[in-house]
Amino acid sequence: MQRAHLVFSGSPRVHLIRIRQKGEEMRVLVLVLQDTEFRPTNNFFIPNSLHQLGIDVTLGDPNSLQIVNGVITTNTCEFMEGNVGSPHPEMNKPASCENFDLVWFLDYPHPNRLVDYFRILWVLNRRVPFVNDPASVFLLNNKIGPLGLESARFFASSSVLSDPQWIQDIREASPDQSFVLKPPDKGCGADVFTLTPGDPNANALIQSSLGNPAQLEEMFGSAVIGQSGNFVVLQEFLPRLRESENRVLLAGGQIVGGYRKISAEGDFRGNYLVGASTAPLDISSSAELISVSVATELLSYGIHFVGIDVSGDHLIEVNLVNPGGISGHLEANGVDIGVDVCQAVLTSCLGTQW
């Protein structure tokens, strides 16, 4: 394989760009988890859309990523044309990850491998361009990192706490305010709770969110348990969230689609996994300005594909790895925007119109 031209894409990243021979297709590596069949998610829509654009797509397994004699490898398979419900090909061919024009990672490995996975991706990103910069994803794809962005001004008032007394003090200072408790590093609505004024479960929810350190110390002793407490994010609850929350899909710094997130009856969480439904995107002009502002800022961190949740004048969350936007837009509008998303991403990442 020929390599040429050191390309500096923001400091300190250096890419060795693969030089394609005349008539050779662009090659993209998409890292996805092994499955039994293609489901209506990004893991199908993105490789399929790239394939429709005439790109040579290889699927790679995040759980087999490693460095062998200095070369980054993973188990792979070729992506061929398919449909939702088609059998997922087995990724069983070890191959270098370095002979590609672009890497797009859509999944995490097993939690035990997560930190080293990102370290290996960081090494790979010195050699191959990525859709989303691994270091930025590692630091920003959670509930804490985005608080360091300029766009953090759009969040409702937020705190990251490990001391239950601070939570009580904040609640007592605003006795009529409801709050949301969120774990910093979980997704899909896991362990997200509301704290409402007068709720008799409030103390139990706070203790549980922090890992029940006092209870564990009492049961097993501090010598055994040690420092067992967790951090938790405490955020002001936004009223009328059910009527106004939208997922906005951003690609290449622009809005490419999205949908309304409607929580299930009796649940305040807008996550699809816990029963939320979709409707066509319906955002205010201020939410649209927020979306464009966030997209522009994230481009400066090497993030070309992201889904954000907005409500009125507020940013709710940032999703950088595998944001449900293509499938949600399809469900809400009946339109597959996968090709549009991929065109915007490729143009932004590689500087070539598609």
Which of the pair, 15 or 318, is modelled with greater confidence? 318
Residue 302 maps to which CATH number? 3.30.470.20
The answer to whether residues 169 and 263 belong to one domain is no
The answer to whether residues 52 and 89 belong to one domain is yes
Identify whether 137 is part of a domain.
no
Identify whether 291 is part of a domain.
yes
Identify whether 222 is part of a domain.
yes
The answer to whether residues 125 and 225 belong to one domain is no
Identify whether 273 is part of a domain.
yes
The answer to whether residues 232 and 122 belong to one domain is no
Which of the pair, 283 or 240, is modelled with greater confidence? 283
The answer to whether residues 264 and 179 belong to one domain is no
Which of the pair, 237 or 135, is modelled with greater confidence? 135
The last residue of a domain, from among 171, 201, 236: 236
Tell me the pLDDT tens digit for each residue of 209-265: 888 777 777 677 776 666 767 899 999 988 877 778 899 999 999 999 999 887 656
Identify whether 219 is part of a domain.
yes
Residue 73 maps to which CATH number? 3.40.50.20
The last residue of a domain, from among 217, 236, 255: 236
Yes or no: say if 131 and 304 are a contact pair by the CB < 8 Å rule: yes
**How many domains is the chain partitioned into structurally?**
3
- Whole-angstrom distance, CA of residue 10 vs CA of residue 247: 28
Identify whether 354 is part of a domain.
no
The answer to whether residues 47 and 112 belong to one domain is yes
Q: What is the mean pLDDT of residues 59-75?
A: 98
The answer to whether residues 181 and 109 belong to one domain is no
Q: Residue 245 is encoded by which pair of tokens?
A: 């929350």
| Residues near 216 by beta carbon (within 8 Å), at least 6 away in sequence | 225, 228
Identify whether 135 is part of a domain.
no
> How confident is the model at residue 83, as a pLDDT?
94
Residue 191 maps to which CATH number? 3.30.1490.20
Which of the pair, 305 or 243, is modelled with greater confidence? 305
Identify whether 163 is part of a domain.
yes
pLDDT band of residue 335 (cuts 50, 70, 90) is very high
pLDDT band of residue 5 (cuts 50, 70, 90) is very low
The last residue of a domain, from among 180, 211, 236: 236
The domain in which residue 204 lies consists of 157-236
The answer to whether residues 39 and 93 belong to one domain is yes
- Whole-angstrom distance, CA of residue 221 vs CA of residue 228: 11
Percent of the chain with pLDDT over 70: 86
The answer to whether residues 244 and 338 belong to one domain is yes
Tell me the pLDDT tens digit for each residue of 77-116: 999 988 999 999 999 999 999 999 999 999 999 999 999 9
Grouping H, G, I as helix, E, B as strand and the rest as coil, residue 112 is: helix
DSSP single-letter state for residue 263:
P
Q: Residue 118 is encoded by which pair of tokens?
A: 């990102």
pLDDT band of residue 44 (cuts 50, 70, 90) is very high
The answer to whether residues 8 and 118 belong to one domain is yes
Q: How many CB atoms lie within 10 A of CB 336?
A: 17
* Alpha helices in the chain, H assignment, sequence order: 42-52, 114-125, 134-140, 164-173, 202-209, 213-220, 222-225, 241-244, 285-299, 326-333, 338-350
The answer to whether residues 85 and 184 belong to one domain is no
- Whole-angstrom distance, CA of residue 1 vs CA of residue 18: 7
The answer to whether residues 208 and 165 belong to one domain is yes
